[in-house]
Amino acid sequence: MVEEVDYEQLLQSLLAERGDLDRMISWVQKRLGRAVEALEPNAPPSGVSAAPIVRFPRTLAPDVFFRMTVPQAIKTYLNIAKRPKSAKDITAALAAGGLTHQAKNLYATVYPTLLRMEGNNEVVRVSKGEWGLTEWYPSGRKASQEQKTESEG
């Protein structure tokens, strides 16, 4: 004999389970210091703040970097993010934002571009693996080079 499935009950059960999983995932992400996006307004497990950690931007428009050069796209992304990002994060954002490229491995293009941009004082390696715009750090290398140029002249 075939049992008839109560889809309403099944749906409610799955939604409850998803809510539990979302809360557990959010808790682990918070412990790891990663961005947490609340999928549903469910109560978090005890000991976890109800406010999710949201880091701007959540999503990028799929064409935000369309027809930009890699350096232009890097600067644009860092301006959007408003905080230092790793080369891997930058690469993922450029790909998600529609950067047109012919590279088989975009990271192999982005990282050397960051190094060149660092040499041109456009970006700064803020910490191990994180890059920021030079203008965010006026007392850094760019400022010391400008002082050196002024003292020579």
pTM over 0.85: no
64 Cβ contact list (under 8 Å, min separation 6): 76, 80, 97, 98
State the residue range of the domain holding 111. 70-143
DSSP 86: E
Tokens of 41: 């307004």
Do 74 and 18 sit in the same domain of this protein? no
Tokens of 2: 């075939």
Helix 87-96 to helix 70-81 angle, to the nearest 10 degrees? 100
Do 92 and 47 sit in the same domain of this protein? no
Residue 123: what are its φ and ψ, rounded to 5°? Answer: -130, 165
Q: Count the domains in the chain.
A: 2
**What are residue 69's DSSP bridge partners?**
none
Do 131 and 104 sit in the same domain of this protein? yes
**In this predicted model, which residue has the larger pLDDT, 134 or 52?**
134
Average pLDDT along the chain: 78
In tens, the pLDDT along 4-16 reads 777 777 777 777 7
Q: With respect to residue 60, please indicate whether it lies within any of the assigned structural domains.
A: no
Q: Is the backbone peptide bond immediately before 57 cis, with ω within 30 degrees of 0?
A: yes
20 Cβ contact list (under 8 Å, min separation 6): none
In tens, the pLDDT along 120-130 reads 999 999 988 89
Do 126 and 82 sit in the same domain of this protein? yes
Largest CA distance in the chain: 95
